[in-house]
Amino acid sequence: MGVKRWVGAWPVYRQLTGADRLGRGRAVQSRRSAGLGPRTADADRVADSVCPYCAVGCAQRVYVKDERVVQIEGNPDSPVSRGRLCPKGSASKQLVTGPQRERKVRYRPPYATEWQDLDLDVAMEMVADRVLDARRRGWQDTDASGRPLRRTLGFAGLGGATLDNEENYLIKKLFTALGAIQIENQARI
């Protein structure tokens, strides 16, 4: 390799002598990085979504290729976040594609030491049965003086910080309609 070509391979030389004085473009590209392209460029489709991590509810664009999520970025159309994601939201692709993500319903029966797989429909029925049973067992129709209460102390609602306004609104409505009076959010505790 000639001296001129050798020196010309230095990014700092190209930065000082070329048009890319800030070293953000061609001056700092290697042969390998010059051939790279963004994962978003060849996605099959883009789905709109919302970051699941906190109640800010930043909007996301989910890039899908071959039915797999290949990238998640902020959606500039959102009036809430205007295309931005914090570091946690920027890493939410890991949440979707990470190898430790559970993809089946897991159930550990009372006193069992091992988890087992459960069919989703069966699990939903079990949750509904437990809600109805707890509601019935904790039901208070009247107080000691016969005044109407029509409430249950059988369960409580505890919202989490990953729930957004709309989810909290619906959960509050559901639990109130079921007769619960103990409805809280983790953010207030």
Exposure string for 1-16, b = 16+ CB within 10 A, e = fewer: eeeeeeeeeeeeebbe
At closest approach, how far in Å is the CB of 126 from ligand SF4? 31
Distance in angstroms (rounded) separating the CA atoms of residues 90 and 72: 7
Q: How far is CA 103 from CA 99, 117, 120, 139, in A?
A: 10, 10, 11, 36
**Cβ contacts of 5 within 8 Å, gap of 6 or more:** none
Does residue 53 belong to the site contacting ligand SF4 (CB under 6 A)?
yes
At closest approach, how far in Å is the CB of 7 from ligand SF4? 44
For residues 89-108, which are near ligand SF4 according to CB under 6 A?
A: 89
Does residue 159 come out as left (phi exceeding 0), alpha (psi in the -120 to 50 range) or beta?
beta
Question: Quick one: DSSP state of residue 26?
Answer: G
Does residue 58 belong to the site contacting ligand SF4 (CB under 6 A)?
yes
Closest CB to ligand SF4 among 81 and 152? 81
Which amino acid is located at 130 in the chain? R
Closest CB to ligand SF4 among 69 and 156? 69
HSE at residue 124, side-chain half, CA atoms within 13 A, is 4
One symbol per residue from 5 to 44: x for binding ligand SF4 (CB under 6 A), - otherwise; what is it? Answer: ----------------------------------------
Q: Which of 28, 64, 86, 105 binds ligand SF4 (CB under 6 A)?
A: 86
At closest approach, how far in Å is the CB of 84 from ligand SF4? 7
Does residue 88 belong to the site contacting ligand SF4 (CB under 6 A)?
yes
Closest CB to ligand SF4 among 90 and 140? 90
Distance in angstroms (rounded) separating the CA atoms of residues 141 and 150: 4
At closest approach, how far in Å is the CB of 76 from ligand SF4? 14
Chain residues binding ligand SF4 by CB under 6 A are 51, 53-54, 56-58, 81, 85-86, 88-89
